[in-house]
Structure 1
Amino acid sequence: MSPRKSAIETAATRTRIIECALTLASAEGLEGVTIGRLATELGMSKAGVIGHFGTKEALQLATLDAAVERFRARVPVRVAGADPGVARLARAFGEWIDSMADDEGNAGCFITSVATEFDGRPGPVRDAVLAALASWAGYVAAELRAAVEAGDLPGDTDVDQLVFELNGVALAAEQAIQLHRDPAAPERARRAIDRLLGR
Protein backbone atom coordinates (compact mmCIF):
# COMPACT_ATOMS: atom_id res chain seq x y z
CA MET A 1 0.00 0.00 0.00
CA SER A 2 1.39 3.41 -0.93
CA PRO A 3 1.86 6.04 1.82
CA ARG A 4 -0.63 8.30 0.01
CA LYS A 5 -3.29 5.60 -0.14
CA SER A 6 -2.65 4.78 3.50
CA ALA A 7 -3.10 8.45 4.50
CA ILE A 8 -6.35 8.68 2.49
CA GLU A 9 -7.72 5.52 4.10
CA THR A 10 -6.71 6.75 7.56
CA ALA A 11 -8.51 10.06 6.98
CA ALA A 12 -11.59 8.23 5.66
CA THR A 13 -11.68 5.97 8.73
CA ARG A 14 -11.33 8.97 11.04
CA THR A 15 -14.23 10.64 9.25
CA ARG A 16 -16.37 7.49 9.60
CA ILE A 17 -15.65 7.41 13.33
CA ILE A 18 -16.58 11.07 13.78
CA GLU A 19 -19.79 10.68 11.75
CA CYS A 20 -20.78 7.70 13.88
CA ALA A 21 -19.96 9.64 17.05
CA LEU A 22 -22.10 12.56 15.84
CA THR A 23 -25.05 10.27 15.21
CA LEU A 24 -24.74 8.54 18.58
CA ALA A 25 -24.13 11.77 20.50
CA SER A 26 -27.13 13.44 18.87
CA ALA A 27 -29.32 10.76 20.42
CA GLU A 28 -27.50 9.94 23.65
CA GLY A 29 -25.23 12.87 24.52
CA LEU A 30 -21.54 13.34 23.83
CA GLU A 31 -20.46 11.80 27.15
CA GLY A 32 -22.46 8.68 26.33
CA VAL A 33 -20.35 7.95 23.26
CA THR A 34 -17.90 5.28 24.33
CA ILE A 35 -14.96 3.80 22.47
CA GLY A 36 -16.53 0.35 22.87
CA ARG A 37 -19.86 1.47 21.42
CA LEU A 38 -18.17 3.10 18.44
CA ALA A 39 -16.04 0.00 17.85
CA THR A 40 -19.15 -2.18 17.85
CA GLU A 41 -21.10 0.15 15.55
CA LEU A 42 -18.21 0.41 13.09
CA GLY A 43 -17.01 -3.19 13.25
CA MET A 44 -13.60 -2.07 14.50
CA SER A 45 -11.44 -2.88 17.49
CA LYS A 46 -11.35 -0.45 20.43
CA ALA A 47 -7.65 0.10 19.74
CA GLY A 48 -8.49 0.87 16.11
CA VAL A 49 -10.95 3.57 17.17
CA ILE A 50 -8.89 5.21 19.90
CA GLY A 51 -5.74 5.03 17.75
CA HIS A 52 -7.13 7.80 15.56
CA PHE A 53 -7.57 10.20 18.49
CA GLY A 54 -5.46 9.10 21.45
CA THR A 55 -8.06 9.85 24.14
CA LYS A 56 -11.81 9.94 24.53
CA GLU A 57 -11.61 13.69 25.14
CA ALA A 58 -9.77 14.17 21.84
CA LEU A 59 -12.54 12.19 20.13
CA GLN A 60 -15.16 14.40 21.81
CA LEU A 61 -13.37 17.54 20.63
CA ALA A 62 -13.08 16.21 17.08
CA THR A 63 -16.78 15.37 17.10
CA LEU A 64 -17.66 18.83 18.36
CA ASP A 65 -15.41 20.42 15.70
CA ALA A 66 -17.25 18.45 13.02
CA ALA A 67 -20.60 19.63 14.41
CA VAL A 68 -19.41 23.25 14.37
CA GLU A 69 -18.28 22.92 10.74
CA ARG A 70 -21.62 21.35 9.83
CA PHE A 71 -23.41 24.27 11.51
CA ARG A 72 -21.28 26.83 9.65
CA ALA A 73 -22.01 25.14 6.34
CA ARG A 74 -25.73 24.94 7.13
CA VAL A 75 -26.19 28.47 8.47
CA PRO A 76 -23.65 31.28 7.80
CA VAL A 77 -22.37 29.84 4.52
CA ARG A 78 -25.86 29.35 3.06
CA VAL A 79 -26.90 32.93 3.79
CA ALA A 80 -23.65 34.66 2.82
CA GLY A 81 -25.24 36.13 -0.32
CA ALA A 82 -28.15 37.75 1.51
CA ASP A 83 -28.16 41.49 2.21
CA PRO A 84 -26.16 42.24 5.37
CA GLY A 85 -28.00 42.97 8.57
CA VAL A 86 -31.66 42.19 9.18
CA ALA A 87 -32.27 40.16 6.00
CA ARG A 88 -29.19 37.99 6.48
CA LEU A 89 -29.90 37.43 10.17
CA ALA A 90 -33.52 36.46 9.56
CA ARG A 91 -32.36 33.91 7.01
CA ALA A 92 -29.55 32.67 9.27
CA PHE A 93 -31.88 32.06 12.18
CA GLY A 94 -34.36 30.49 9.78
CA GLU A 95 -31.69 28.05 8.60
CA TRP A 96 -30.76 27.26 12.20
CA ILE A 97 -34.38 26.59 13.10
CA ASP A 98 -34.85 24.45 9.97
CA SER A 99 -31.78 22.41 10.93
CA MET A 100 -33.29 21.75 14.37
CA ALA A 101 -36.48 20.46 12.80
CA ASP A 102 -35.02 18.36 10.00
CA ASP A 103 -35.90 14.68 9.79
CA GLU A 104 -32.50 13.26 8.91
CA GLY A 105 -32.00 11.63 12.29
CA ASN A 106 -29.96 14.49 13.71
CA ALA A 107 -32.76 16.87 14.63
CA GLY A 108 -32.02 19.49 17.22
CA CYS A 109 -28.89 21.55 17.63
CA PHE A 110 -25.90 19.42 18.54
CA ILE A 111 -23.88 22.38 19.84
CA THR A 112 -26.55 23.67 22.22
CA SER A 113 -27.16 20.11 23.44
CA VAL A 114 -23.47 19.70 24.24
CA ALA A 115 -23.46 23.14 25.88
CA THR A 116 -26.20 21.96 28.25
CA GLU A 117 -24.40 18.67 28.87
CA PHE A 118 -21.06 20.29 29.72
CA ASP A 119 -22.06 23.72 31.08
CA GLY A 120 -21.10 22.81 34.65
CA ARG A 121 -18.06 20.71 33.79
CA PRO A 122 -14.86 22.73 33.30
CA GLY A 123 -12.41 21.42 30.75
CA PRO A 124 -11.49 21.46 27.07
CA VAL A 125 -14.91 20.35 25.78
CA ARG A 126 -16.68 23.13 27.69
CA ASP A 127 -14.05 25.61 26.48
CA ALA A 128 -14.60 24.51 22.88
CA VAL A 129 -18.38 24.90 23.20
CA LEU A 130 -17.91 28.36 24.70
CA ALA A 131 -15.66 29.35 21.80
CA ALA A 132 -18.21 28.12 19.25
CA LEU A 133 -21.06 29.97 20.94
CA ALA A 134 -18.95 33.12 21.27
CA SER A 135 -18.17 32.95 17.55
CA TRP A 136 -21.89 32.73 16.74
CA ALA A 137 -22.72 35.60 19.10
CA GLY A 138 -20.03 37.68 17.39
CA TYR A 139 -21.54 36.90 13.99
CA VAL A 140 -25.01 37.92 15.16
CA ALA A 141 -23.68 41.11 16.79
CA ALA A 142 -21.81 42.11 13.61
CA GLU A 143 -24.97 41.68 11.52
CA LEU A 144 -26.98 43.71 14.02
CA ARG A 145 -24.42 46.52 13.91
CA ALA A 146 -24.62 46.45 10.10
CA ALA A 147 -28.42 46.74 10.41
CA VAL A 148 -28.05 49.74 12.72
CA GLU A 149 -25.61 51.42 10.32
CA ALA A 150 -28.00 50.78 7.40
CA GLY A 151 -30.89 52.31 9.33
CA ASP A 152 -32.81 49.03 9.46
CA LEU A 153 -32.67 49.06 13.26
CA PRO A 154 -32.83 52.12 15.55
CA GLY A 155 -29.55 53.86 16.30
CA ASP A 156 -29.96 53.23 20.03
CA THR A 157 -30.39 49.45 19.61
CA ASP A 158 -28.79 47.54 22.48
CA VAL A 159 -26.91 45.01 20.36
CA ASP A 160 -25.85 42.77 23.25
CA GLN A 161 -29.41 42.60 24.55
CA LEU A 162 -30.75 41.76 21.10
CA VAL A 163 -28.15 39.00 20.63
CA PHE A 164 -29.32 37.57 23.97
CA GLU A 165 -32.99 37.69 22.97
CA LEU A 166 -32.49 36.24 19.48
CA ASN A 167 -30.45 33.35 20.85
CA GLY A 168 -33.07 32.88 23.56
CA VAL A 169 -35.71 32.34 20.88
CA ALA A 170 -33.51 29.75 19.17
CA LEU A 171 -32.96 27.91 22.45
CA ALA A 172 -36.69 27.94 23.17
CA ALA A 173 -37.29 26.55 19.68
CA GLU A 174 -34.77 23.78 20.31
CA GLN A 175 -36.59 22.70 23.46
CA ALA A 176 -40.04 22.94 21.88
CA ILE A 177 -38.91 20.89 18.87
CA GLN A 178 -36.89 18.28 20.74
CA LEU A 179 -38.66 17.90 24.07
CA HIS A 180 -42.23 18.89 23.31
CA ARG A 181 -42.29 17.72 19.68
CA ASP A 182 -44.30 20.85 18.91
CA PRO A 183 -44.88 21.07 15.13
CA ALA A 184 -45.74 24.77 15.48
CA ALA A 185 -42.41 25.62 17.12
CA PRO A 186 -40.41 26.46 13.97
CA GLU A 187 -43.03 28.92 12.72
CA ARG A 188 -43.46 30.45 16.18
CA ALA A 189 -39.70 30.93 16.41
CA ARG A 190 -39.54 32.58 12.99
CA ARG A 191 -42.31 34.99 13.95
CA ALA A 192 -40.47 35.87 17.17
CA ILE A 193 -37.23 36.44 15.26
CA ASP A 194 -38.99 38.67 12.74
CA ARG A 195 -40.60 40.68 15.54
CA LEU A 196 -37.25 41.20 17.29
CA LEU A 197 -35.68 42.29 14.00
CA GLY A 198 -38.53 44.69 13.27
CA ARG A 199 -39.66 42.80 10.18
Structure 2
Amino acid sequence: MADGRVERGNQTRRTVLERTMSIASVDGLEGLSLGKIASDLGLSKSGVFALFGSKEDLQLATVRAAVEVFVERVVRPVREEPAGLTKAWRLCELWLEYSGHRIFPGGCFFYGVSAEYDARPGPVRDEIAKARADWTRYIERVLDEARTAGGFRQGSGADEVPQLAFEIIALMELANAHSVLFEDGSAYERAGRGILARLRSVAAAPDELPERPPAIDGPTAAPTSSAAAS
Protein backbone atom coordinates (compact mmCIF):
# COMPACT_ATOMS: atom_id res chain seq x y z
CA MET A 1 0.00 0.00 0.00
CA ALA A 2 2.82 2.38 0.82
CA ASP A 3 4.52 1.59 -2.50
CA GLY A 4 1.24 2.29 -4.28
CA ARG A 5 0.95 5.71 -2.68
CA VAL A 6 4.53 6.52 -3.62
CA GLU A 7 3.95 5.50 -7.23
CA ARG A 8 0.74 7.54 -7.41
CA GLY A 9 2.67 10.51 -6.02
CA ASN A 10 5.41 10.02 -8.58
CA GLN A 11 2.88 9.78 -11.40
CA THR A 12 1.14 12.94 -10.22
CA ARG A 13 4.51 14.69 -10.10
CA ARG A 14 5.30 13.62 -13.67
CA THR A 15 1.87 14.75 -14.86
CA VAL A 16 2.28 18.15 -13.21
CA LEU A 17 5.78 18.67 -14.59
CA GLU A 18 4.75 17.77 -18.13
CA ARG A 19 2.17 20.53 -17.86
CA THR A 20 4.46 23.07 -16.22
CA MET A 21 7.23 22.57 -18.80
CA SER A 22 4.77 23.32 -21.59
CA ILE A 23 3.37 26.37 -19.81
CA ALA A 24 6.78 27.78 -18.87
CA SER A 25 8.14 27.42 -22.40
CA VAL A 26 5.42 29.85 -23.55
CA ASP A 27 4.41 31.95 -20.53
CA GLY A 28 7.61 31.72 -18.50
CA LEU A 29 8.26 30.26 -15.10
CA GLU A 30 6.44 33.16 -13.47
CA GLY A 31 3.33 31.97 -15.27
CA LEU A 32 3.18 28.86 -13.09
CA SER A 33 0.59 28.58 -10.34
CA LEU A 34 0.17 25.53 -8.11
CA GLY A 35 -3.54 26.15 -7.66
CA LYS A 36 -4.29 26.72 -11.34
CA ILE A 37 -2.29 23.69 -12.43
CA ALA A 38 -4.14 21.52 -9.93
CA SER A 39 -7.44 22.85 -11.29
CA ASP A 40 -6.38 22.41 -14.95
CA LEU A 41 -5.36 18.80 -14.38
CA GLY A 42 -8.27 17.90 -12.10
CA LEU A 43 -5.94 17.17 -9.21
CA SER A 44 -6.22 17.84 -5.51
CA LYS A 45 -4.77 21.27 -4.73
CA SER A 46 -3.53 20.02 -1.37
CA GLY A 47 -1.87 17.03 -3.08
CA VAL A 48 -0.01 19.26 -5.54
CA PHE A 49 1.08 21.56 -2.71
CA ALA A 50 2.32 18.53 -0.77
CA LEU A 51 4.48 17.49 -3.74
CA PHE A 52 6.06 20.89 -4.41
CA GLY A 53 5.49 23.06 -1.37
CA SER A 54 6.00 26.45 -2.97
CA LYS A 55 5.99 28.17 -6.34
CA GLU A 56 9.79 28.38 -6.27
CA ASP A 57 10.05 24.64 -5.61
CA LEU A 58 7.74 24.06 -8.58
CA GLN A 59 9.85 26.33 -10.78
CA LEU A 60 13.06 24.54 -9.79
CA ALA A 61 11.48 21.13 -10.39
CA THR A 62 10.27 22.32 -13.81
CA VAL A 63 13.76 23.44 -14.85
CA ARG A 64 15.24 20.09 -13.71
CA ALA A 65 12.56 18.16 -15.57
CA ALA A 66 13.29 20.16 -18.73
CA VAL A 67 16.98 19.28 -18.37
CA GLU A 68 16.04 15.59 -18.35
CA VAL A 69 13.97 15.99 -21.52
CA PHE A 70 16.79 17.92 -23.19
CA VAL A 71 19.40 15.31 -22.29
CA GLU A 72 17.16 12.52 -23.58
CA ARG A 73 16.48 14.29 -26.89
CA VAL A 74 19.80 15.98 -27.65
CA VAL A 75 22.69 14.64 -25.57
CA ARG A 76 22.10 10.94 -25.00
CA PRO A 77 21.77 9.93 -28.69
CA VAL A 78 25.37 10.96 -29.45
CA ARG A 79 27.12 9.87 -26.27
CA GLU A 80 28.45 6.62 -27.71
CA GLU A 81 29.46 8.01 -31.11
CA PRO A 82 33.21 8.20 -31.84
CA ALA A 83 34.91 11.53 -31.29
CA GLY A 84 35.01 13.77 -34.33
CA LEU A 85 33.39 16.72 -36.02
CA THR A 86 30.67 14.46 -37.43
CA LYS A 87 29.63 13.82 -33.82
CA ALA A 88 29.71 17.56 -33.14
CA TRP A 89 27.51 18.19 -36.17
CA ARG A 90 25.08 15.45 -35.14
CA LEU A 91 24.78 17.09 -31.71
CA CYS A 92 23.93 20.41 -33.36
CA GLU A 93 21.47 18.71 -35.71
CA LEU A 94 19.68 17.14 -32.75
CA TRP A 95 19.43 20.54 -31.07
CA LEU A 96 17.91 22.09 -34.19
CA GLU A 97 15.40 19.23 -34.36
CA TYR A 98 14.57 19.63 -30.66
CA SER A 99 13.77 23.29 -31.16
CA GLY A 100 12.22 23.03 -34.62
CA HIS A 101 9.96 20.08 -33.78
CA ARG A 102 8.70 21.97 -30.72
CA ILE A 103 9.45 19.39 -28.08
CA PHE A 104 8.39 22.32 -25.90
CA PRO A 105 5.63 24.40 -27.49
CA GLY A 106 7.52 27.66 -27.01
CA GLY A 107 10.69 26.42 -28.71
CA CYS A 108 13.86 25.94 -26.70
CA PHE A 109 12.81 25.90 -23.04
CA PHE A 110 16.15 27.26 -21.82
CA TYR A 111 16.30 30.13 -24.28
CA GLY A 112 12.97 31.43 -23.03
CA VAL A 113 13.53 31.06 -19.29
CA SER A 114 17.08 32.44 -19.56
CA ALA A 115 15.72 35.70 -20.95
CA GLU A 116 13.15 35.74 -18.16
CA TYR A 117 15.65 35.23 -15.33
CA ASP A 118 19.05 36.42 -16.59
CA ALA A 119 18.96 39.59 -14.44
CA ARG A 120 17.03 38.15 -11.49
CA PRO A 121 19.30 36.68 -8.79
CA GLY A 122 18.12 33.68 -6.83
CA PRO A 123 17.88 29.88 -6.83
CA VAL A 124 15.84 29.67 -10.05
CA ARG A 125 18.32 31.79 -11.97
CA ASP A 126 21.17 29.69 -10.54
CA GLU A 127 19.49 26.48 -11.72
CA ILE A 128 18.97 27.87 -15.22
CA ALA A 129 22.55 29.15 -15.34
CA LYS A 130 23.85 25.73 -14.31
CA ALA A 131 21.89 24.03 -17.08
CA ARG A 132 23.18 26.52 -19.63
CA ALA A 133 26.77 26.18 -18.41
CA ASP A 134 26.56 22.38 -18.51
CA TRP A 135 25.35 22.51 -22.12
CA THR A 136 28.13 24.90 -23.17
CA ARG A 137 30.75 22.72 -21.48
CA TYR A 138 29.38 19.64 -23.21
CA ILE A 139 29.64 21.23 -26.66
CA GLU A 140 33.16 22.39 -25.85
CA ARG A 141 34.08 18.88 -24.70
CA VAL A 142 32.73 17.27 -27.88
CA LEU A 143 34.67 19.79 -29.99
CA ASP A 144 37.86 19.35 -27.98
CA GLU A 145 37.59 15.55 -28.25
CA ALA A 146 37.30 16.02 -32.01
CA ARG A 147 40.40 18.19 -31.98
CA THR A 148 42.50 15.75 -29.94
CA ALA A 149 41.33 12.90 -32.20
CA GLY A 150 42.83 14.73 -35.19
CA GLY A 151 39.61 16.17 -36.55
CA PHE A 152 40.87 19.78 -36.67
CA ARG A 153 43.15 21.08 -39.41
CA GLN A 154 46.84 21.36 -38.63
CA GLY A 155 47.70 24.38 -36.54
CA SER A 156 44.34 24.58 -34.77
CA GLY A 157 44.72 24.94 -31.03
CA ALA A 158 42.60 24.31 -27.98
CA ASP A 159 41.95 28.06 -27.75
CA GLU A 160 39.70 27.81 -30.83
CA VAL A 161 37.24 25.51 -29.09
CA PRO A 162 35.44 28.00 -26.76
CA GLN A 163 35.03 30.51 -29.61
CA LEU A 164 33.71 27.84 -31.95
CA ALA A 165 31.25 26.61 -29.31
CA PHE A 166 30.09 30.18 -28.67
CA GLU A 167 29.39 30.80 -32.36
CA ILE A 168 27.55 27.49 -32.78
CA ILE A 169 25.31 28.16 -29.78
CA ALA A 170 24.63 31.68 -31.05
CA LEU A 171 23.49 30.35 -34.44
CA MET A 172 21.22 27.74 -32.88
CA GLU A 173 19.60 30.18 -30.49
CA LEU A 174 19.06 32.79 -33.19
CA ALA A 175 17.29 30.12 -35.27
CA ASN A 176 15.06 29.35 -32.30
CA ALA A 177 14.24 33.01 -31.63
CA HIS A 178 13.57 33.81 -35.30
CA SER A 179 11.41 30.73 -35.75
CA VAL A 180 9.29 31.41 -32.67
CA LEU A 181 8.83 35.11 -33.36
CA PHE A 182 8.21 34.91 -37.10
CA GLU A 183 6.83 31.36 -37.38
CA ASP A 184 9.61 30.72 -39.89
CA GLY A 185 11.02 27.19 -39.89
CA SER A 186 13.59 28.07 -42.57
CA ALA A 187 15.70 29.69 -39.84
CA TYR A 188 16.87 26.22 -38.81
CA GLU A 189 18.25 25.46 -42.25
CA ARG A 190 20.10 28.79 -42.32
CA ALA A 191 21.56 28.11 -38.89
CA GLY A 192 22.54 24.60 -40.00
CA ARG A 193 24.34 25.98 -43.04
CA GLY A 194 26.22 28.44 -40.86
CA ILE A 195 27.23 25.76 -38.35
CA LEU A 196 28.43 23.41 -41.09
CA ALA A 197 30.45 26.19 -42.72
CA ARG A 198 32.08 26.97 -39.39
CA LEU A 199 32.87 23.32 -38.67
CA ARG A 200 34.33 22.84 -42.16
CA SER A 201 36.55 25.88 -41.62
CA VAL A 202 38.43 24.04 -38.84
CA ALA A 203 38.06 20.47 -40.14
CA ALA A 204 41.04 18.38 -41.21
CA ALA A 205 38.69 16.49 -43.54
CA PRO A 206 35.84 18.88 -44.40
CA ASP A 207 34.43 16.44 -46.95
CA GLU A 208 33.34 14.19 -44.07
CA LEU A 209 30.72 16.78 -43.15
CA PRO A 210 27.55 17.19 -45.23
CA GLU A 211 27.36 20.03 -47.73
CA ARG A 212 23.95 21.14 -46.51
CA PRO A 213 21.83 20.43 -43.45
CA PRO A 214 18.67 18.37 -43.86
CA ALA A 215 15.42 20.28 -43.92
CA ILE A 216 13.74 20.60 -40.55
CA ASP A 217 9.99 20.95 -40.70
CA GLY A 218 9.42 23.89 -38.44
CA PRO A 219 6.14 24.89 -36.79
CA THR A 220 3.37 26.44 -38.81
CA ALA A 221 1.77 28.40 -35.99
CA ALA A 222 2.90 30.45 -33.04
CA PRO A 223 2.76 28.77 -29.61
CA THR A 224 -0.45 29.36 -27.70
CA SER A 225 -0.22 30.75 -24.20
CA SER A 226 -1.74 28.77 -21.38
CA ALA A 227 -4.11 31.65 -20.66
CA ALA A 228 -5.42 31.67 -24.22
CA ALA A 229 -5.64 27.90 -24.29
CA SER A 230 -7.76 27.85 -21.16
| TM-score, L = length of structure 2 | 0.81
1:44 Cα shift? Answer: 2.3
Greater Cα shift, 73-82 or 130-139: 73-82
Q: Which amino acid aligns with 1:182?
A: D
Contact 1:99 1:107 (C-alpha < 8 Å) held by counterparts: no
Of 73-82 and 114-123, more deviation after overlay is shown by 73-82
Give RMSD over aligned pairs. Answer: 1.5
Partner of 1:176: 178
Moved more, 73-82 or 168-177: 73-82
Post-superposition shift, 1:82? 2.7
Contact 1:101–1:107 (Cα < 8 Å) also in 2: no
Which whole-Å deviations, capped at 9, do the CAs of 1:14-73 have from their partners, x for residues lacking one?
111111111211221111111122022111243222210111111111111010010000
Q: What amino acid is the match of 1:102?
A: H
Question: How far did 1:97 drift?
Answer: 0.7
Report the counterpart of residue 165 of structure 1 in structure 2: 167
Structure 1 CA distance, aligned partners of 2:11 and 2:187?
Answer: 37
Task: Report the Cα offset of residue 189 of structure 1.
Answer: 1.2
- Residues 26, 106 of structure 2: 8 Å contact kept: no
Q: Tell me the secondary structure at the aligned position of residue 120 of structure 1.
A: coil
Instruction: Could you tell me which runs of 5 or more consecutive residues in structure 2 were left unpaired when the two chains were aligned.
Output: 201-208, 210-230
Matches within 5 A, 1:1-199: 2-103=1-102, 106-154=105-153, 155-156=156-157, 158-198=160-200, 199=209
1:186 Cα offset (Å): 1.3
Task: Determine what percentage of the aligned residue pairs are the same residue.
Answer: 37
Letter in 2 for 1:89: A
Q: Residue 83 of structure 1 aligns to a residue in which SS?
A: coil
Distance (Å, rounded) in 2 between the aligned partners of 1:28 and 1:162: 32
Name the amino acid aligned to 1:26: S
1:26 touches 1:110 (CA, 8 Å); kept in 2? yes
State the AA in 1 paired with 2:166: F
Shift of 1:107: 4.8
Moved more, 147-156 or 9-18: 147-156
Q: Which has the higher contact order (CA 8 A, sep 6+)?
A: 2
Deviates more, 1:127-136 or 1:74-83: 74-83
SS of the residue aligned with 2:59?
helix
**What SS does the aligned partner of 1:52 have?**
helix
- Distance in 2 of aligned mates of 1:189 and 1:148: 22
| Kept after mapping to 1: 8 A contact 2:29/2:59 | yes
> What is the number of equivalent residue pairs in this alignment?
198
C-alpha distance after superposition, 1:115-141 (max 9, x if no partner): 111101001111011111111111111
1:15 and 1:76 map into 2 onto residues whose CA distance is: 21
Structure 2 contact 22–105 (Cα < 8 Å) conserved? yes
Range 131-140 or range 36-45, more displaced? 36-45
Deviation larger for 185-194 or 67-76: 185-194
Letter in 1 for 2:61: A
**2:218 matched residue in structure 1:** none
